[in-house]
Amino acid sequence: MEERSPHDRAERTREFAECVLPEVEMLLRVATTLTARPDHAEELVRATLLRAYRTFERCDGRQPRTWLLTLMYEERTDRRRARGSRPRRDRETGPRPSPAGVSGQAAKPVVVGQSFHEVVDFALAALPVRYRQVVRLVDIDGLSYAEAAGSLGTSEATVKSRLRRARRRIRVRLAAAGLVPGRGER
């Protein structure tokens, strides 16, 4: 292995910090979306940053976010393999809770406010994980389709399809609550 001078190591550390540190908050948001527990998300980010530091010479600096998301996906995949587990399929578990004030009948249109946010939060929580993840990554965290696809290890077409289906399900919940026009009411 090539030995670096203290000056080279300091320069590499500075370049790493400039390239990677601005993306740490985004990595944590994505990891939180991908894992069930905050401590697992933090550990995934730490492992991703360590992997990034070790392989930093492979980063061209033009798209650090995409590179980091790819490393996170690889780290997550390696951890699953080491545990001998396979990715779980989404399964519905029991009846879904019903949010207060949401019924099957359309209510009067309401100005966007607390009830709107409650219904959106409920609709998001009721989505299967595969749909909820793309909504969080694209609509909440602001990742591009390509970045979301890279972090999930799937294609952009799959991300777009899941996002379309998730948004449709959320809209149905909002229409049922009378917060947006239903089909034909536009």
User: What would the pLDDT profile of 17-53 be if each residue is shown by its tens digit?
Assistant: 888 889 999 999 889 888 878 899 999 999 999 999 8
Q: Using the 3D structure, point to which of 83, 103, 127 is the last residue of a domain.
A: 83
Query: Does residue 66 sit in the same domain as residue 17?
Result: yes
Q: Tell me: the pLDDT tens digits for 123-142? A: 888 999 999 999 988 988 88
- What's the CA gap between 16 and 154, in Å, rounded? 27
Where does the pLDDT of residue 86 fall: very low under 50, low under 70, confident under 90, or very high at 90 and above? low
What's the burial of 71, exposed, middle or buried (CB within 10 Å: 0-12/13-18/19+)?
buried
Domain that holds residue 126: 114-176
- Number of domains forming the structure of the chain: 2
CATH number for the domain that contains residue 132: 1.10.10.10
Tell me the whole-structure pTM to 2 decimals.
0.56
Domain end residue (candidates: 83, 101, 123): 83
Looking at the structure, tell me whether residues 23 and 68 fall in a common domain.
yes
